[in-house]
Amino acid sequence: MRTKSGVLLSSVLILGMALSACGNNENDGAGASPSDSPAATESASSEAPSETPKEEEPTEITIMLPLNIAETPPDTIKNEVEKLTNTKLTYQFFPADTYEDKLNATLATGSLPEVAYLKNQATLVKMKGAIRDGQFWEIGPYLGEFPNLSKLKPLILNNTKVDGKLYSLYIGRPLARQGIIYRKDWADKLQLKTPETVDEVIAMAKAFTEQDPDGDSKANTIGLSDRNDLVYGAFKTVASWYSAPNNWGEKDGKLQPDFTFPEYVAAMDFMKTLRDAGAMNQDFAATSKTDQVALFNSGKAGIYIGAMSDIDALNKDLIKNVSTAVVDTAALIKGPNGQQTTWAIPGYNNVVMFPKSGIKDEDELKKVLAFYDKMMTPEVANVMFWGIEGTHYTVQDGKAKATDNADLIEREVKGFKDSLIGEAETNGTYEGFFSLPGRVRAEEFTKQQESLAIHDPTAALDSPTYTEEGVELQKIITDATYQYIYGKIDQAGFEKAIAEWKKRGGDKIIEEYNAVYKK
């Protein structure tokens, strides 16, 4: 993706008061008050020294990370984290849109700081060459020395390894949170039940298009609103309902890419059926997420397939335009084989790494890792994820209820929230308190789908050819997928695109993945 040159948005940060480092608390379960945690009390009593130790100097750490909001956050959260961890933190925020360029440029000049976050999973793939060149610390051998870092999930850590070695800590995300957000008021009016099968999803989309669900006697509604993203838009979720492999699957004892399976073609047929019927936005391959969301929020579209957690924002903006609107979520959709399946992400959306240009020796590395170990205590993790209790959230029924001032949270908390490692089960953050029924169901669906999720068998594997050429080669398949759905090519044309993918390097990728698959 072509990006503009990055603009530095680094903060000039204030040194917090140096306090003794907090104890390493065990996670006593979501919802427990961190200060009242029995594990916290036990840890404090068992680790208390016999005499008052000399106050330690705060550890100075500079952290480079992407900024996913418009402006650099103020120091409200940073200052609190410094107090809790006895650190002096300097956050170097750079706009997410140009972050990869900035990261590469800083890496090339050997000037990365002690800590560097990547942008996403794809950036980790691109960074493997630098990792193999020895530019980052291998941290796997040290995790056992830190009780909280040791809680990180082995499966997800394994998904981030390079050549079987661990160089990063992960920012955890639910494995399977994809599903349907839909206009329940439209469904109720048309006497449609919550869809449970792929055929019922198609039927709902057509009904929302053809049966005047908004009651204005005009043909101005569509079923599905989608965008130009075959992964986080509708397509990959639809394909998983048909039990398509997650990127790669096993066929005849050998790994093959998902687009070589009939289930992938079935998902293309699903999308083509909706488009041919006018039951979705016709130009979805050229539609941004902003425009996709606008179709739903304006009251024109009735179905959104993607992260179910998006329901809060969609509902908030929709009812501004349609005050009587009601939204709900659906998941656990059955494919033609009667099975309920969905796809799983590798359990993280980003990682943090430790450049040797910023960390000179093992002692310094351990001090930085000690900070991340403290980050995984409920006291620190809740500050970073939810903010300051009483200001950004309150505790209700043992869960965190965010303030209604969403702008305050976005401005002061989100920049730091995006850098918190682990997940609630490992770092002790509160579960969220939600009042919107559709969001409550979304949280339940997300938990249920973990056991049904299809994992990517290549997540922890490596293909040098894929690292170098995979993104470019994927464009062949992406273009062919859109062309098939648009009716510009048939299945024979799609097979021709697969042959081109194989010829230009795909066969080599298949060979490399299979060489390490069953080792």
pLDDT digits (tens, 9 = 90+) for 108-129: 999 999 999 999 988 998 899 9
Residue-wise pLDDT tens digits, 67-111: 999 999 999 999 999 999 999 999 999 999 999 999 999 999 999
Half-sphere exposure of 420 (CA within 13 A, CB side): 29
Closest by CA position to 374, among listed 63, 7, 20: 20
Looking at residue 39, its pLDDT comes to 35
User: What is the spatial distance between Cα 235 and Cα 183, in angstroms, rounded to a whole number?
Assistant: 20
Per the document, the length of the chain is: 519
Q: What is the dihedral of CA 114, 115, 116, 120, to 10 degrees?
A: 160
Q: 135-158 b/e with 16+ CB inside 10 Å = b? A: bbbbbeeebeebbbbebbbeebbe
Q: What would the two tokens of residue 392 be?
A: 């950004």
- Residue segments in the chain with a per-residue pLDDT below the cut of 70: 1-54
Looking at residue 52, its pLDDT comes to 40
Instruction: Classify residue 223 as exposed, middle or buried by CB count within 10 Å of its CB (0-12, 13-18, 19+).
Output: buried
Looking at residue 54, its pLDDT comes to 59
pTM of the model as a whole: 0.81
Instruction: Classify residue 87 as exposed, middle or buried by CB count within 10 Å of its CB (0-12, 13-18, 19+).
Output: buried
Looking at residue 172, its pLDDT comes to 95
Q: Which parts of 206-252 are beta strand (E)?
A: 222-225, 248-251
- For 327, phi then psi, to 5°, come to -115, 155
Looking at residue 122, its pLDDT comes to 86
Q: What would the two tokens of residue 345 be?
A: 């992400």
- The residues, any chain, with a CB within 8 Å of residue 21's CB and separated by 6 or more, are 56, 85, 86, 370, 374
User: What is the spatial distance between Cα 13 and Cα 48, in angstroms, rounded to a whole number?
Assistant: 32
Helix axes 76-85, 378-386, angle to 10 degrees: 170
Closest by CA position to 270, among listed 205, 178, 345: 205
